[in-house]
Amino acid sequence: MINRRQAIQLGAATLALPALHLRAGDDSARPALIQRPIPASGELLPAVGMGTSRTFDTDDDPQSLANLRAVMQAFVDGGGSVIDSSPMYGRAESRVGDVLRAMQPPPKLFAATKVWVKGKDKGIAQMQESARRMNVERFDLIAVHNLKDWKTHLATLREWKEQGKVRYIGITTSHGRDHDDFMQVMKREPLDFVQFSYNIEDRETENKLLPLAADRGIATMINRPYQRGSLFGEVRGVPLPALAGELGCASWGQFFLKFILAHPAVTCIIPATAKVEHMADNMGANFGPVPDAGQRAEMLRIYESL
Ligand SMILES: NC(=O)c1ccc[n+]([C@@H]2O[C@H](COP(=O)([O-])OP(=O)(O)OC[C@H]3O[C@@H](n4cnc5c(N)ncnc54)[C@H](OP(=O)(O)O)[C@@H]3O)[C@@H](O)[C@H]2O)c1
């Protein structure tokens, strides 16, 4: 006989099953894909994308490449499209390119990278090198990483956008100490995207950057949704609450992602993983119900009472 804790877990897992383990082509059986519009264009993006920091910074040996290819396949099978990288992430851009070259036909992705260097010419050279590494003809989005030399690079990116060399432009941060400067740039510059951290533990951007992005009509890409993985330590061994089942969440990971998605100013989230089963888990949050304001408050109350 199963105990109460197992029953809660089983109930939640069963409810969310249709969102998992289904390959492209099985769409009729899935709950609806959660998509959000980019305010600048109305283009819809699947809510859960992927990051590549650390996870794709590997050697190009056959074993690593086979694993990353399987991770990418799980991403695409789970309805994913938005992939975020940066020249700051060591070999990550190159590994993304290796994996995409090996996939036939190549998946249709929303490819985003960043520029992270000082100086106009170095910035241009870096963005061209990123395109070569990631096997991308034209980036969907290039953002200035951590505001580094942002005036210089935003000027170049605006020119590139006018010339059709990039579709969207933006800025990123993951540091609270940058938020004041970041908001000044958001207020003054025409931006399509901003990227910053937000999760159930670190909610500093909730009442500052997120509402400002909504006011300014800027899409938001949320980094560190798992606080670099540390959120899982907080819930190890803790059974999923009944609310998780109502929201189609089969895991704490999906619970954490759906909490973020419940903020109306969030456009997409970019959790990073080097594990196929974790990617399938993350993509489960791409489907089904989005918590309403009351459920969101209840999710927070549950997490804070752990
Ligand atoms: N300034 C910036 O522009 C900036 C700053 C920070 C991050 N970012 C971007 O945002 C992305 C995400 O942030 P992040 O990588 O720092 O942190 P994160 O996504 O919050 O956490 C990643 C960690 O969570 C673990 N994980 C992922 N899915 C899991 C699951 N379903 N179950 C259990 N563990 C799971 C991963 O380990 P496993 O590999 O073992 O699954 C990894 O250690 C980055 O990759 C990067 O693309 C940008």
Each residue of 192-234: pLDDT tens digit? 999 999 999 999 999 999 999 999 999 999 999 999 999 999 9
Q: Encode pLDDT of 254-276 as tens digits.
A: 999 999 999 999 999 999 999 99
Q: Encode pLDDT of 144-195 as tens digits.
A: 999 999 999 999 999 999 999 999 999 999 999 999 999 999 999 999 999 9
Position 233 scores a pLDDT of 97
| Third-level CATH fold of 45-304 | TIM Barrel (3.20.20)
d(CA 227, CA 234): 11
Tokens of 115: 């520029």
Does the beta carbon of 67 lie inside 6 Å of ligand 1?
Answer: no
3-class DSSP state for residue 242? helix
37, β-bridge pairs: 44
Does the beta carbon of 248 lie inside 6 Å of ligand 1?
Answer: no
21 or 287, greater pLDDT: 287
d(CA 195, CA 262): 17
Position 36 scores a pLDDT of 98
What's the 194 CA to ligand 1 centre distance in angstroms?
18
DSSP conformational letter for 238: P
Predicted TM-score (pTM) of the model is: 0.92
3-class DSSP state for residue 206? coil
pLDDT classification of 15: cutoffs 50, 70, 90 = very low
Position 134 scores a pLDDT of 98
d(CA 270, CA 1): 39
The alpha carbon of 111 is separated from its chain's Cα centroid by a whole number of angstroms, namely 12
Instruction: Indicate if the pLDDT at residue 19 is higher than 50.
Output: no
Does the beta carbon of 53 lie inside 6 Å of ligand 1?
Answer: yes
- Domains of the chain, residue spans: 45-304
- Which ligand 1 atom sits closest to the C-alpha of 225? 20
Q: Which H helix or E strand runs over 35? A: strand 35-37
